[in-house]
Amino acid sequence: MKTIRNICATLTFSAIIAGGSTTWAAPVYDTAIPPSATLRYKVTASYNGLSLSGNSVMQWKTNLSTYSIHDNCTVTLFGNVLNSASSGKVDRNGLQPTNYSETKLHKKFSATINQANGSFKPSDGDDSIAFNGRVQDHSSVVWQLSAIANDNKDRFVPGHSYTIQVISHRGTKDWTFRVVRNETLSTPAGKFQTAVISGNNGKNQTMTLWLAKDNYYYPVQLYFKNNNFETRQTVNSIR
């Protein structure tokens, strides 16, 4: 059971984003919000030589003034092991999460985020936590990167980097994302021309996203590594 908890925490950033509050405001970027879509993924995971498989569904909805994200992960033999949800507003600089929640094996966490006042209230703490600038949550950060790429097609090229603040249980952490290469990716949903972006938070945790250049930069593959944990989600369908 501990193995499944760690793997699914990795899938939704909960285990790989940690640290204290940042003391400076991360940059803001112009964005173009991708249209609503439901993406279904095949999931493979590895932990200390143990291989597991499953499926996940990511529902992205927006009317260009608000958005919502719902993630669901199921793993063979264990069934539904993770749910997460993010919702908030949208403006020219992208997503502004106001509510985030997750349930991992019956363990719940949520946060209410006040972007205007620069603070968020985690459900497992008594006090609000301050931040500078704008922040993303564990789900919205993927779609914020998609929106940045969708608006910066000519500049979203290898060598360019982006810094985004992401909330955690105890504060915020700056993640640095760099476009590392372009790649043709073969998936069960077909071949995609992708921009590959790799991110880290200054520790030994990393993630890589394959964003489909001709499909609004939807995340068609996601890879996460945290010490001896590795997970990969590859798209089966986009609707």
Kindly state the average pLDDT of the residues 23-35.
84
Threshold 0.85, pTM exceeds:
yes
* pLDDT tens track for 98-138: 999 988 767 788 999 999 999 999 988 778 999 998 999 98
Name the band, by pLDDT with cuts 50, 70 and 90, for residue 77: low
CA distance 121 to 137: 12
List Cβ neighbours of 221 (8 Å cut-off, separation of 6 or more): 185, 187, 194, 209, 210, 232, 233, 234, 235
The predicted-structure confidence for 59-73, as pLDDT tens digits, reads as follows 999 998 999 999 998
Is residue 13 over pLDDT 50? no
Angle, alpha carbons 22-9-14 (nearest 5°): 15
Q: Is 60 exceeded by the pLDDT of residue 75?
A: yes
3-state secondary structure 139-199: CHHHHHHHHHHHHCCCCCCCCCEEEEEEECCCCEEEEEEEEEEEEEEEECCEEEEEEEEEE
What single letter denotes the amino acid at residue 135? V
Count of positions (residues) in the chain: 239
Would you say residue 17 has pLDDT above 50? no
Q: With 70 as the cut, is the pLDDT of residue 166 above it?
A: yes
DSSP letter for 35, please: P
pLDDT confidence band for 162 (50 / 70 / 90): very high
Nearest-CA neighbor of 120 among 168, 173, 86? 168
Q: What value does the mean pLDDT of the chain take?
A: 86
How far apart are alpha carbons 143 and 147 in whole angstroms?
A: 6
